[in-house]
Amino acid sequence: MQPVLAFDVYGTLIDTLGVTIELERRLSDASKAGEFAKRWREKQLEYSFRHSLMGAYVPFAECTREALVFTDRALQTGLSDNDRDHLMAVYAELPAFPDVVPALDRLRDAGIRCVAFSNGTEEAVNQLLTRAEVKSHMDAVVSVDAIKRFKPAPAVYAYLRTRLETRPEATWLVSSNPFDVIGATHAGLRSAWIRRHSDAPFDPWGIEPDMTVPELETLADRMMR
């Protein structure tokens, strides 16, 4: 049975730190750009977890904006409303990692279905992947927005299988985010962790991915053996 690969989007296909260059232009202290980008991303995920646990779902873009406001306050960077609107627009046009398209093309040429699976709304993810020139290399986009829950809730992985009409053992979650990998594995899916940074730690929960690779072309090599 051929596997179906469901790729996380933010941080796996799309480089969320790609906003750093624009932050360097917008912040009065450009040296804070790297820390700002990192904290913005961390808070974005934290807010998605909190909204999901509270049963107070909002679209992922709202989590992103809330995290932007918090980070601005925490680092005292003094962004204007125009700055924030501009940075949100930049976040909607982030670049893909360079290994994404070559790996997807190889996998699809081998007959392996590749879908995007994201916390973002379907509209937002379609636009993001289109601008990053990735959308045409995917078979579909699946968004958690349909069930108003965020990863890593078990319901989102069950919804993924329902949409794809696949069995757990043939459904792979591919992500650079350990929480996503652990959530999918806990829900009975197969999982691949994309360890894009050699010093990135994995959560010590006693749940390990089925595969760990440094980038997507290595994933394609392993899947096509």
* CATH code: domain of residue 57: 1.10.150.240
Burial class of residue 191, CB neighbours in 10 A (0-12, 13-18, 19+) = buried
Q: What is the pLDDT of residue 164?
A: 96
Q: What is the pLDDT of residue 203?
A: 97
Q: How would DSSP label each residue in 99-150? A: THHHHHHHHHHTT-EEEEEESS-HHHHHHHHHHTT-GGG-SEEEEGGGTT--
153 and 58, same domain (yes or no)? no
User: For 131-169, what is each residue's pLDDT tens digit?
Assistant: 999 999 999 999 999 999 999 999 999 999 999 999 999
Alpha-carbon distances of 77 from 46, 92, 94, 131, rounded to whole Å: 21, 21, 22, 29
117 and 86, same domain (yes or no)? no
Query: Tokens 């078979």 identify what position?
Result: 139
- Domain residues for the domain of 148 are 4-14+94-223
Domain count, the chain: 2
Average pLDDT, the chain: 97
| Cα–Cα distance measured from residue 15 to residue 96, given in angstroms and rounded to the nearest whole number | 6
Q: What is the pLDDT of residue 143?
A: 98
Give the residue numbers marked as catalytic.
8
108 and 79, same domain (yes or no)? no
| Cα–Cα distance measured from residue 169 to residue 190, given in angstroms and rounded to the nearest whole number | 6
User: For 160-196, what is each residue's pLDDT tens digit?
Assistant: 999 999 999 999 999 999 999 999 999 999 999 999 9
86 and 99, same domain (yes or no)? no
154 and 67, same domain (yes or no)? no
48, pLDDT greater than 90:
yes
Q: What is the pLDDT of residue 67?
A: 98
DSSP H or E segment with residue 68: helix 60-75
| Cα–Cα distance measured from residue 14 to residue 150, given in angstroms and rounded to the nearest whole number | 18
Q: Which residues neighbour 91 within 8 Å (Cβ) at sequence distance 6 or greater?
A: 16, 19, 64
193 and 169, same domain (yes or no)? yes
User: For 11-28, what is each residue's pLDDT tens digit?
Assistant: 999 999 999 999 999 999
49 and 120, same domain (yes or no)? no
Q: What is the pLDDT of residue 162?
A: 97
User: For 30-39, what is each residue's pLDDT tens digit?
Assistant: 999 999 999 9
Query: Tokens 């202290």 identify what position?
Result: 29
* CATH code: domain of residue 110: 3.40.50.1000
169 and 157, same domain (yes or no)? yes
63 and 130, same domain (yes or no)? no
**Nearest one of 205, 206, 212, 172 to 188, comparing CA atoms:** 172
Phi, psi of 208 (to 5 degrees): -110, 150
25 and 115, same domain (yes or no)? no
The residue out of 69, 91, 113 marking a domain boundary is 91
1, pLDDT greater than 80:
no
User: For 74-103, what is each residue's pLDDT tens digit?
Assistant: 999 999 999 999 999 999 999 999 999 999
Q: What is the pLDDT of residue 224?
A: 87
41 and 141, same domain (yes or no)? no
132 and 40, same domain (yes or no)? no
Task: State whether the Cα torsion 118-122-127-129 is positive or negative.
Answer: positive
Q: What is the pLDDT of residue 225?
A: 82
